[in-house]
Amino acid sequence: MLPALLVQSLAAPFIAVPLMVLMTEEITIREIPWIASLVHITRTVASAAGLALVATFTRKQEQLHSALLGQHVESGSALVQGRIDATAATLEAQAIDPALAADQATAMLAGTVQREAFVLAYADMFLLLGIALALTALLTLFMYRPKLPGKFL
């Protein structure tokens, strides 16, 4: 969590300040309160929408990867059954009821599949965010230069 906040706090001035300069260079003194509220609302709504998009994409990708990984875990195959039996034996050695050990071992295997699906989903999300970042960085080449100093500098 801390590295993400560090990156965000270091990168925000490189995004927020140029955007504010571009947004406010043509406004009048009377428009300042309206522009300030518009910027605040836009940031709030865009943050909520971005978070919702990231969460939805990650959840959908986790479901996809979980289904794809689940196809490789064939019920009744010798390899899968061997893993469940080995895990159940380890659980039984820890004084867990043998009747529950097989169920817990199966649940642990399902948890492993789900954990790996989340890892793949997060990798997909980071790739998508990286592509979006690269595209927006390219868009900056087509932005016009503001007339500095502006009206208020």
DSSP 149: S
Please indicate, yes or no, whether the overall pTM of this predicted structure exceeds 0.85.
no
Distance CA 56, CA 130 (A): 17
Half-sphere exposure of 142 (CA within 13 A, CB side): 5
> Among positive and negative, which fits the CA dihedral 123, 140, 1, 10?
positive
pLDDT tens digits for range 46-62: 889 999 999 999 999 99
Residues of the chain with pLDDT under 50: none
